[in-house]
Amino acid sequence: MNAVIRFEDLYNRKINHIQVRGVGVVTGILNDDLAGRKHQRFVVELAVHKTLLILNNIDIWPRVDPLEAGDRVEFCGEYVWNRHGGIVHWIHNDPKSSRDRAM
């Protein structure tokens, strides 16, 4: 049985490294991070008025394209807390198959 954990709880309790699913509205599209492994970066706002930075490793997974501010996106990946709301990464298949497919 899967427990439902609300994003407010993850944020308030500073929980890290937990698999999450959610829906948000794109509020910002950032430049790709090209240092080391390349990542597409965009910000989504959740219904609970928190924001998440979504990191998509474009070295091993296709870009989310087209993508514009105002788009509604569903996501699944690993949540990492930060004071801005959090980060979700590993939204792609794990090439080593040690993680569930995220998106």
- What is the reported pLDDT for 100? 52
| CA angle 48–73–8, rounded 5-degree value | 20
User: What is the residue extent of each domain of the chain?
Assistant: 7-88
Contact 53, 41 (CB under 8 A): yes
Domain 7-88 homologous superfamily, CATH: Nucleic acid-binding proteins (2.40.50.140)
- What is the reported pLDDT for 101? 46
- What is the reported pLDDT for 97? 57
- What is the reported pLDDT for 89? 93
Q: Which helix (H) or strand (E) holds 10?
A: helix 7-12
Walking along the chain (103 residues) 10 residues at a time, the average pLDDT comes out as 72 92 95 95 91 94 94 94 92 60 43
Q: Which of 16, 53, 59 is nearest to 34 (CA)?
A: 59
- What is the reported pLDDT for 1? 37
Residue position matching structure tokens 């080593």: 96
